[in-house]
Structures are given as structure tokens and as C-alpha cells.
Amino acid sequence: MENRNGLIVTTRLTKATGTAECTAALEMAEEVSGERRVTLGGDKGYDQKKLVEALRVENVTPHVARNEERRGGSAIDERTTRHEGYQISQRKRKRVEEIFGWMKTTGLMRKLRHRGEARVEWMFTFTAAAYNLVRARNLLAQAKA
């Protein structure tokens, strides 16, 4: 999700392995990163040293929530948290939960009707596209008002 308008940028379906979210985050960050520095927001589960280092190599600033309770402390240091953009990203990342809520209720993703990784991934991506259309319509209506 991009922070400015809350639109979904890319999707990825993975099996629940415990490390799949971080792997998918890195893959998606590689897709959207370019010459300009971008940020990636996330919850405490993404505060892992390997992921943070890999993101920085890809010219992506990790705006993930600090997990001070983890052994060894947080992988996010003050060079990231001292900037105002970090606090903004932490507030904006809650929109992702709104997206998943919409996908489960309106997008019919709560109880899947399809089986198989390819079909489920297609439905997830299709539902994300539908969300973007609804979100774009609402943004246009706000701009006209």
C-alpha cells in the first residue's frame, strides 16, 4: 500500500511458514524500489535484522515498528526513527488493516471459495484491484467536493 492515497501497489500470496511475510515483503520492495528511496512500513514482525539489512541494500528505508522485547533489541535504529516520516508511516500503516477488513467483508475473502495456490492468488489480486477501483472512486469524489 502506498501511504498517500491508500492504494494497493502490489500483492503476493505465500504459504504460512513463519518467514514468508518477510520474504514476500523483500520481493515486493525489490519490485517497487528504483532510483529514489522508498519506505516500507510494517508491524513488529518485520523488525528482523536480516530483513532490515536487505531492505537497506535495495534502497528501501524500513519503517517497521520497533520490537524492543526481542532478544538483542530492535533492528531499527535512531537513524530511521528520528525522522518525522517514520512517525507518519507508523500512523498510516493502520490503513493496511482497513484494506484487509474490506477484502474480508466486501471482497468475499473471509471464506475462500477456491482451492489451490494459483486460484487463491488470482482471487486475492483481483480483490485488491477491485479495492483500488472503489478507493479511486472515493478519492475522486473527495477531490470534487
What mean pLDDT, rounded, does the chain reach? 90
- Residue 4 included in any domain: no
Q: Please indicate, yes or no, if residue 7 is contained in any of the structural domains.
A: no
Report yes or no on 57 lying in a domain. yes
Structural domain boundaries enclosing 138: 20-144
**Residue 137 forms part of a structural domain:** yes
pLDDT tens profile 114-124: 889 999 999 99
Please count the structural domains in the chain: 1
Examine residue 8 and state whether it is found in any structural domain, yes or no: no
Determine which helix (DSSP H) or strand (DSSP E) holds 63, and give its type and residue range: strand 60-64
Answer whether residue 111 is part of any domain.
yes
Please compute the mean of the pLDDT values over residues 11-23 and round it to a whole number. 89
pLDDT of residue 33: 63
- Residue 14 placed within a domain: no
Higher pLDDT, residue 16 or 121: 121
Measured distance CA(98)–CA(91) in Å, rounded: 13
* 67 within a domain of the structure (yes/no): yes
Residue 3: per-residue pLDDT: 83
Percentage of the chain exceeding pLDDT 70: 99
